[in-house]
Chains A and B, each alone.
Chain A
Amino acid sequence: MPVYNIIQAVNDALRIEMRKNGNIVVLGEDVGNFGGVFRATSGLQEEFGKERVMDTPLAEAGIIGSAIGMALYGLRPVAEIQFSDFIFPAFDQIVNELAKFRYRSGGEYPAPMVIRTPYGGGIRGGHYHSQSPEAYFAHTPGLKIVIPSSPYDAKGLLLSAMREEDPILFMEPKRIYRAARGEVPEGEYTIPIGQAKVVRPGKGVTVLCYGAMLHTVLEAVEKQGAGDFDPEVIDLRTLVPLDTETILESVRKTGRVVIVYEAPKTCGFGAELSAIIAEKALLHLEAPIARVAGLDTPFPYTLEMEYLPSPERVAKAIAETARF
């Protein structure tokens, strides 16, 4: 079985689906001739031509707006936003248009499409190449949000995303784009949207995370002593629709929860997770829910590793929650 990084896995998924489904088109800035600034669409224009792999003018609202029009007409666009920090010029198109089209037209005009975008810090990118804006979009009914943490998941989830009937925001953790490597089966396989994965079973503390933070959590468990508390590590994989069952089942078992996300702490996705657990499993809790998150600041350049949750901070939170 080949060993891929996440970029190669994404590329493989795109190639497989484009071969299978002639309606899939890729569009974005620098995705064609250059193959994307992260090389995720490398070689696709060579194989599928300039009409199916389009280098667009430099305007995110145009990329998403035109992709919506393509989706309404019957194509299956996979639009790339080069960095999720640059998604905001397209915010209106995503939040007011894409997310609402099926609903506002009484089901007459669905717009199934995928928006791929790299997100997250730890790459010396400063505040405009490091943000994690998932919570803005999780607050918008009509979108589904998928965030893989491994090459295997990236390929299986992206293949699913391209076959979904709903618009998908597919956020790729660029910090581990190349660092996360693993065996990826050749050919097609899918991982269902909306299913979390228990990465490490345990009985002591439930640790909820997604994307690059899974690797920070695993380092806390494997190298910073948090493994002593028998944590159950859950990779959410899909934020919307959320796999509430898997989360609650774990919380009922452990009674203790640590949530790790790299976005600013306040109103981050971890706040929603905390609320759900408080609503549905309060009497099972034996300790306060802990959140390890980014600071409520713009994303810093020089001190980014201090801003980001570290394995040590995660290990401390797990230990404190376990001992409470």
Chain B
Amino acid sequence: MTQVALPPGAIVADKAPPPFSILDYEGNLRPDIDPSLVPDIPDADCLRLYREFIKLRLIDDRYLKLQRQGRLGFYMQSTGEEATQLGVAYALKQSDWIYPSYREPGIAFFRGYSIHDFTNQLFGNAEDPVKGRQMPVHHSFRAGNFVSISSPVGTQIPQAVGTARAAQILKHDTVVSVFFGEGTTSPGDFHVGLNFAGVWKAPVIFVCRNNGWAISTPLALQTASPSIAHKALGYGFPGLLVDGNDILAMISATRTAAARARAGEGPTLIEALTYRRAAHSSSDDPSVYRKGKDDEVREWERRDPVARFSRYLERKGILTPAIDAKYREELTEEISAALKHVETVGTPPLISLIEDVYAQPTAQLREQLAELLTMPRQKLGHG
């Protein structure tokens, strides 16, 4: 390869530094860590977070099985990416807004979304908060300032910036955090959103869950940038490269970003390094494109965010086998109750077909529904 000398004025990106990490893979504080960066978390909060970790794990395992049994149409796991979600959830206030993508159910749960509502949404039934209008995992939880999820990737990024700008204009203390995967750093909305945020110094935290894979496409085919965090530099604000499987590092980094936002210092991009251990969705089969990558998957299992946090808590004497067993039992019961309940709930009423398109249904919509009501119901599929 020839090396063409660059003229004065050339700007070249540095190599990415190692990610900010507090806990090693055994759940010990890293010896070289600056103690002021280790978040001080009360014991009760540690246990609350641990319970949320277990909740996500149990739900992912159970609901994927349901999908495989044909009882649930579709499912998306976030297995292995729990610390990224929960770290941000813990570091922010309930009044801060979250623009999720489809792999952050942990934030909704942390903010009070019930397993019942979560389950009803997956089944699109009459008690589904979004009235059976979206595929599974596209939640909306207004009471938790958790914005309705879209399937097209990246559209939430400029929206989050707009919400942050609105809070800034209204002189509210609100910080907005927006989530996306590394694949979503490719479409235009990512760049448009970060650019607007930089210009406005908007109080927004961009959280890229870099889990290595966009369905079958690996990171190397997504960007030539040395890291995703580097991309922030082009928009005039800092990027933080963080160990996304270390909840303490995620809390610490998010607190820093939120402090910057609240102090009027503008946006921060957090690149949370993690790994999509499961398939993209229940419709995906990674064995086709991750053939021969067993070592990669095993390595990330070694970095498991739940195991790292639980070992840390056990060593501190906060978590005991008895507490762990109690949580698992309670949560399993809660999940079973929700699944039993959905069997008793019917489909949304037909009137819901035309509601919420507009604040009030138009004459045309009322006419179309009236015609529909005279006809027998059509079954899904053919024949």
A61-B189, A241-B363 as given contacts; A105 in contact with B166, CB under 8 Å: no
Partner of B162, one of A66, A101, A241: A66
Docked complex Cα distance between A148 and B362 (Å): 20
Contact B357 A69 (CB under 8 A): no
Point out the residues of chain A lying under 8 angstroms from B166, CB to CB. 69-70, 73-75
Point out the residues of chain B lying under 8 angstroms from A77, CB to CB. 162
Contact A65 B130 (CB under 8 A): no
Cross-chain pair count, CB within 8 angstroms:
151
Interface size grouping (class) on chain A: 35 or more
Contact B159 A72 (CB under 8 A): yes
Closest Cβ of chain A to B354, distance in Å, is 9
Partner of B97, one of A71, A73, A107: A73
Contact B358 A96 (CB under 8 A): no
Contact with B along A86-120 (1 / 0, CB 8 A): 00010011001100011111111110000000000
A66-B159, A72-B147 as given contacts; A92 in contact with B165, CB under 8 Å: no
Point out the residues of chain B lying under 8 angstroms from A144, CB to CB. 358
Contact A61 B148 (CB under 8 A): no
Which positions 138-160 of chain B face chain A at CB distance < 8 Å? 138, 140-142, 147-148, 150, 152, 155, 157-160
Query: Is A51 located at the chain interface by the 8 A CB criterion?
Result: yes
Point out the residues of chain A lying under 8 angstroms from B161, CB to CB. 62, 65-66, 69
Point out the residues of chain A lying under 8 angstroms from B129, CB to CB. 106, 108
Docked complex Cα distance between A164 and B193 (Å): 27
Query: Is A57 located at the chain interface by the 8 A CB criterion?
Result: yes
Residue total for B at the interface (Cβ-Cβ under 8 A): 48
Partner of A105, one of B97, B140, B176, B358: B140
A103-B356, A108-B140, A109-B142 as given contacts; A97 in contact with B195, CB under 8 Å: no
Residue of B nearest to A97 (CB): B155
Query: Is A166 located at the chain interface by the 8 A CB criterion?
Result: yes
Contact A96 B150 (CB under 8 A): yes
Closest Cβ of chain B to A139, distance in Å, is 13
Contact B196 A62 (CB under 8 A): yes
A65-B155, A66-B159, A69-B162 as given contacts; A105 in contact with B142, CB under 8 Å: yes
Residue of B nearest to A143 (CB): B358
Contact B133 A68 (CB under 8 A): no
Contact B357 A141 (CB under 8 A): yes
Point out the residues of chain B lying under 8 angstroms from A67, CB to CB. 162
A92-B155, A166-B358, A244-B363 as given contacts; A109 in contact with B148, CB under 8 Å: yes
Point out the residues of chain A lying under 8 angstroms from B192, CB to CB. 57, 59, 61-62, 65
Query: Is B170 located at the chain interface by the 8 A CB criterion?
Result: yes
Point out the residues of chain A lying under 8 angstroms from B141, CB to CB. 108
Partner of A96, one of B152, B163, B169, B362: B152
Contact B169 A69 (CB under 8 A): no
A59-B192, A75-B166, A97-B150 as given contacts; A69 in contact with B160, CB under 8 Å: yes
Query: Is A242 located at the chain interface by the 8 A CB criterion?
Result: yes
Docked complex Cα distance between A52 and B168 (Å): 11
Contact A93 B155 (CB under 8 A): yes
Contact A109 B165 (CB under 8 A): no
Residue of B nearest to A164 (CB): B359
Point out the residues of chain A lying under 8 angstroms from B158, CB to CB. 61-62, 64-66, 68-69, 93
Point out the residues of chain B lying under 8 angstroms from A101, CB to CB. 148
Query: Is A266 located at the chain interface by the 8 A CB criterion?
Result: no
Docked complex Cα distance between A322 and B327 (Å): 80
Contact B359 A69 (CB under 8 A): no
Residue of B nearest to A74 (CB): B166
Contact B364 A75 (CB under 8 A): no
Query: Is A231 located at the chain interface by the 8 A CB criterion?
Result: no
A92-B152, A97-B155, A103-B356 as given contacts; A69 in contact with B165, CB under 8 Å: yes
Docked complex Cα distance between A199 and B49 (Å): 66
Point out the residues of chain A lying under 8 angstroms from B134, CB to CB. 104
Which positions 183-199 of chain B face chain A at CB distance < 8 Å? 188-189, 192-193, 195-196, 199
Point out the residues of chain A lying under 8 angstroms from B355, CB to CB. 107
Closest Cβ of chain A to B286, distance in Å, is 27
Contact B188 A61 (CB under 8 A): yes
Point out the residues of chain B lying under 8 angstroms from A25, CB to CB. 169
Point out the residues of chain B lying under 8 angstroms from A228, CB to CB. none
Docked complex Cα distance between A172 and B110 (Å): 46
Query: Is A56 located at the chain interface by the 8 A CB criterion?
Result: yes
Partner of B148, one of A51, A89, A104, A166: A104
Query: Is B131 located at the chain interface by the 8 A CB criterion?
Result: yes
Closest Cβ of chain A to B192, distance in Å, is 4
Query: Is B128 located at the chain interface by the 8 A CB criterion?
Result: yes
Contact with B along A295-314 (1 / 0, CB 8 A): 00000000000000000000
Query: Is B273 located at the chain interface by the 8 A CB criterion?
Result: no
Point out the residues of chain A lying under 8 angstroms from B363, CB to CB. 241, 244
Contact with B along A13-26 (1 / 0, CB 8 A): 00000000000010
Closest Cβ of chain A to B176, distance in Å, is 8
Query: Is B164 located at the chain interface by the 8 A CB criterion?
Result: yes
Point out the residues of chain B lying under 8 angstroms from A249, CB to CB. none
Residue of B nearest to A245 (CB): B363
Contact A242 B358 (CB under 8 A): no
Point out the residues of chain B lying under 8 angstroms from A72, CB to CB. 147, 159, 162-163
Residue of B nearest to A108 (CB): B142
Query: Is B318 located at the chain interface by the 8 A CB criterion?
Result: no
Point out the residues of chain A lying under 8 angstroms from B259, CB to CB. none
Query: Is A211 located at the chain interface by the 8 A CB criterion?
Result: no
Point out the residues of chain A lying under 8 angstroms from B362, CB to CB. 194, 240-241
Residues of B with Cβ closer than 8 Å to A?
97, 99, 128-131, 133-134, 138, 140-142, 147-148, 150, 152, 155, 157-170, 174, 176, 188-189, 192-193, 195-196, 199, 355-359, 362-364
Give me 25 A-to-B residue pairs in the complex whose CB atoms sit less than 8 angstroms apart, sorted by A's number.
A57-B196, A59-B188, A59-B192, A61-B158, A61-B189, A62-B196, A65-B159, A65-B193, A66-B159, A66-B193, A66-B196, A69-B166, A92-B152, A96-B155, A102-B359, A104-B150, A105-B356, A106-B128, A106-B129, A106-B131, A109-B147, A142-B358, A164-B359, A165-B358, A241-B362
